[in-house]
A = this chain, B = another copy of it.
């Protein structure tokens, strides 16, 4: 089996899991946050910078790589790791989420999804088989089953049919998977905001015995309490000896609440996307460095942070760079935000080890300036 999850301990205070995920490209300490490198690059970052801020695994998007430069080219380059010069683990999504987001530009059938490229309008399709084949060509350590992420809100009947289809598609992905020895295929639990469908989906997928399970279809517009409720309905149905990945979640509060509910892996474009707009995650909460009040503020973005940006540059300089459209400003804010989340997860692991993650969460929220379950972003 390509990946192996090792459970080190469970936090006595919360039930959160401290673990290690062994993959062909190295070990990941969990719970972990995965920076997103959509087009075979975490925007603005070098692999060395990602390593120096502590990233152990990154995510890349199958939909985007399928369109450009194409999975065959990446395969010819020796796989995604070699193509982008990243020798640590990579997780690829299945492309499902992206093609469904195209809304009017796609059509779903039992076979798969037909859609038009957002780049040039070409008519294309992805099926459970082809999405798996594309990810086999990319050579990620972890690939995801092709699923449908139903919109929110959606009718119960639609979500039920969609979730059942996702289960049928998951089985087709397993059959199509050509590299189980060095790539681990994770199933994705769907079920919308319906407890019974979440349970049904989890039961369906675990019966197929995937090496890991993702929880999809959350963080799609629902409230944080509802997301946490759905997590609580899903996680207990997943086996404890396999990793659990909550897709598309990256706000600090949700990383803490997700860890507490037994999640091991997270990814989100949030830290990198808001960084490019000059918005920072700091130990004092959200900060918009573009604001005029930082014009001649020569302190670091976050006085408690030890990242490259905070060690060497002032708010005034970074504000200047961003106002002047200088690329280096985006590098610095991106480094800071990724460092913030990656280091937050290191603190989470330490707190689990010491059976005090609940206390850590409470203290973090107080300092970060947010109540429980309230979004800071």
Instruction: Give A contacts to B, CB under 8 Å.
Output: 39-41, 43-46, 64, 68-69, 73, 76-78, 83-85, 295-296, 298, 312-314, 316-317, 319-321, 323-324, 326-331
List chain B residues, Cβ under 8 A from A41.
321, 324, 326-329
CB distance from A138 to the nearest CB of B (A): 13
Q: Which residue of B lies closest to A73 (CB)?
A: B296
Instruction: Add 11 more A-B contacts to A46-B328, A85-B312 (CB < 8 A).
Output: A41-B328, A44-B328, A45-B328, A46-B331, A69-B316, A69-B324, A73-B296, A77-B296, A83-B314, A83-B317, A84-B317
Inter-subunit contact B40/A320 (CB<8 Å): yes
Inter-subunit contact B73/A316 (CB<8 Å): yes
Inter-subunit contact A324/B39 (CB<8 Å): yes
Also in contact, A327 and B324, with CB within 8 A (given A298-B77, A314-B77, A317-B77): no
List chain B residues, Cβ under 8 A from A295.
69, 73
CB distance from A157 to the nearest CB of B (A): 40
List chain B residues, Cβ under 8 A from A84.
317
Inter-subunit contact B327/A327 (CB<8 Å): yes
What are some 18 contacts across the A-B interface (CB < 8 A)?
A: A40-B317, A40-B321, A41-B321, A41-B328, A44-B327, A46-B328, A46-B331, A68-B323, A68-B324, A69-B323, A73-B295, A73-B296, A73-B320, A76-B296, A77-B314, A83-B314, A85-B317, A327-B330
Q: Would you list the 3 A-B pairs with minimal beta carbon distance, nearest first?
A: A44-B327, A69-B320, A41-B328
CB distance from A118 to the nearest CB of B (A): 12
Q: How distant is the Cα of A348 from the Cα of B239 in the complex, in angstroms?
A: 66
Q: Which residue of B lies closest to A76 (CB)?
A: B296
List chain B residues, Cβ under 8 A from A323.
68-69
Inter-subunit contact A77/B316 (CB<8 Å): yes
Inter-subunit contact B328/A68 (CB<8 Å): no
CB distance from A324 to the nearest CB of B (A): 5
CB distance from A112 to the nearest CB of B (A): 25
Q: How distant is the Cα of A290 from the Cα of B40 in the complex, in angstroms?
A: 17
List chain B residues, Cβ under 8 A from A316.
69, 73, 77, 83
CB distance from A270 to the nearest CB of B (A): 18
Q: Which residue of B lies closest to A43 (CB)?
A: B327
Q: How distant is the Cα of A253 from the Cα of B69 in the complex, in angstroms?
A: 35
List chain B residues, Cβ under 8 A from A331.
44, 46, 327
